[in-house]
Chains A and B, each alone.
Chain A
Amino acid sequence: KQEVTQIPAALSVPEGENLVLNCSFTDSAIYNLQWFRQDPGKGLTSLLLIQSSQREQTSGRLNASLDKSSGRSTLYIAASQPGDSATYLCAADQGGSEKLVFGKGTKLTVNP
């Protein structure tokens, strides 16, 4: 059974700082790992999808890496801005299944 853990649960940083969010998963037989952003009271916005054959994906100031053998993924945010404040969720599929298993998220606050 896939289990996803995100550390830290909350993070507060000053504007401009580079930061790393961590995600670990127990079942390495995944097809995809997906990072999402969730603003308060809103749905999930897909940020990056890393396929099992890939090591990393980049979109703008975001870079996500995947190490299947160790069951870890990281989301790197460069030059953070107050608009980056949100909860970031990591989700991995359960090998052979389409369903995503989510972590509890990291609540990020970027202070001006």
Chain B
Amino acid sequence: GAGVSQTPSNKVTEKGKYVELRCDPISGHTALYWYRQSLGQGPEFLIYFQGTGAADDSGLPNDRFFAVRPEGSVSTLKIQRTERGDSAVYLCASSQVAGGNNEQFFGPGTRLTVL
């Protein structure tokens, strides 16, 4: 596609529920990243995929968070037993080449609100 797309744009859920956030990267980009942005802060890294595998998941806050990219394209970020502190904008980015000099392109984000 022309850019990184994310669905849904907004998600409101209740505490304790399970949510899935989807990211569709730029066609041909092998690297995919998830970040989380709280109000007034810069984005914080969650996880990075090179192809189908998670190359770096050091930013995932706890085991309630999990992400997959089964075919090396679309990725899903999954959050179990959501908590109010999970409320944030979840941003996805992709890049053409991982390692060395690669420019990351971001999607519009999914705003998650946990009531």
* B105 pairs with A46, CB closer than 8 A: yes
Is A67 an interface position by the 8 A CB rule?
no
- Prevailing SS type, chain A contact patch: strand
* A98 pairs with B33, CB closer than 8 A: yes
Selected from B40, B104, B105, B108, the residue in CB contact (under 8 A) with A104 is B40
Is A29 an interface position by the 8 A CB rule?
no
Q: Which residue of B lies closest to A103 (CB)?
A: B42
Selected from B43, B102, B106, B109, the residue in CB contact (under 8 A) with A32 is B102
Is A64 an interface position by the 8 A CB rule?
no
With both chains docked as a complex, state the minimum distance between the C-beta of B70 and any C-beta of chain A, in angstroms: 20
Q: Which residue of A lies closest to B48 (CB)?
A: A98
How large, as a class, is the contact surface on chain B?
20 to 34
* A46 pairs with B41, CB closer than 8 A: no
* A51 pairs with B56, CB closer than 8 A: no
Is B14 an interface position by the 8 A CB rule?
no
Q: How far is the CA of A43 from the CA of B58 in the complex (A)?
A: 23
Q: Which residue of B lies closest to A101 (CB)?
A: B45
Is B98 an interface position by the 8 A CB rule?
yes
* B43 pairs with A98, CB closer than 8 A: no
Is B20 an interface position by the 8 A CB rule?
no
A-side contacts of B41, CB under 8 Å = 104
B-side contacts of A61, CB under 8 Å = none
* A44 pairs with B43, CB closer than 8 A: yes
* A46 pairs with B102, CB closer than 8 A: no
A-side contacts of B108, CB under 8 Å = 42-43
B residues 1-41 in Cβ contact with A at 8 Å:
4, 31, 33, 35, 40-41
With both chains docked as a complex, state the minimum distance between the C-beta of A110 and any C-beta of chain B, in angstroms: 21
* B100 pairs with A49, CB closer than 8 A: no
A-side contacts of B62, CB under 8 Å = none
Chain A: residues with CB nearer than 8 A to chain B?
Answer: 4, 31-32, 34, 36, 42-46, 49, 51-52, 89, 91, 97-105
Q: List 28 A-B contacts (CB under 8 A).
A: A4-B42, A31-B100, A32-B101, A34-B104, A42-B108, A42-B109, A43-B106, A43-B108, A45-B106, A46-B104, A46-B105, A49-B101, A49-B103, A52-B101, A89-B42, A89-B43, A98-B50, A98-B55, A98-B95, A98-B98, A98-B99, A99-B45, A99-B58, A100-B35, A100-B45, A102-B43, A102-B44, A104-B42
